[in-house]
């Protein structure tokens, strides 16, 4: 079968890059299932070409950052100096004036948070009590006749209004 010749270019280009469309990908997948030669070709291509590129890309950036970090760390002598630098930097970036509204908001939320929570719990409890009252009324009046239901509606309305 001449299929290998036709598919190899595709395997080594778009299929390898993950850019083959669904139809081409399906054709290659189907061929790879039955062709050990093309499987090993793909494996070699992945190991020889794609993986080294990915490894380089993954390691290049951290190495760069690490070297520049090492330079900066070794340039300083003590932790105190580093801390002073850090907080000096912080003070420069976020001035105290900018922090005041933020701290104010945080304080307000801390103070009102529990109150709001407490209120919502009270409301929930009240709603639960109302529901239980309603259920109790309906249960005691019974659903045997229309007249009984109408009679039960009046105390319910009185309770809520
Ligand atoms: Zn093949």
List the chain domain ranges.
1-75, 95-161
Model pLDDT for residues 97-142, shown as the tens digit of each residue: 566 666 677 777 777 766 666 677 777 777 788 888 878 877 776 5
Distance 41 CA to ligand 1 centre (A): 9
Helix runs in the chain, H state only:
3-10, 16-17, 22-34, 36-45, 51-75, 79-93, 96-141, 146-160
Model pLDDT for residues 77-92, shown as the tens digit of each residue: 566 676 677 777 666 6
Distance 50 CA to ligand 1 centre (A): 20
| pTM attached to this predicted model | 0.34
Distance 35 CA to ligand 1 centre (A): 5
Distance 43 CA to ligand 1 centre (A): 13
């Amino acid at each position: 079968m001449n299929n290998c010749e036709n598919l190899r270019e595709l395997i080594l280009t778009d299929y390898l890059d993950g850019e083959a469309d669904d139809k081409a990908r399906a054709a290659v997948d189907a061929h790879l299932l039955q062709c050990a030669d093309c499987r090993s070709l793909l494996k070699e291509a992945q190991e020889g070409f794609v993986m080294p590129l990915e490894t380089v890309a993954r390691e290049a950036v951290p190495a760069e950052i690490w070297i520049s970090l090492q330079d900066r760390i070794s340039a300083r002598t003590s932790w105190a100096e580093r801390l002073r630098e850090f907080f000096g930097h912080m003070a420069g970036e976020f001035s105290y004036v900018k922090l005041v509204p933020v701290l104010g908001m945080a304080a307000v939320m801390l103070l009102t948070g529990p109150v709001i929570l407490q209120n919502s719990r009270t409301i929930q409890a009240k709603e639960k009590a109302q529901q239980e009252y309603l259920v109790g009324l309906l249960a005691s009046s019974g659903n045997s006749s229309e007249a009984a239901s109408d009679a039960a509606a009046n105390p319910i309305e009185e309770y809520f209004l």
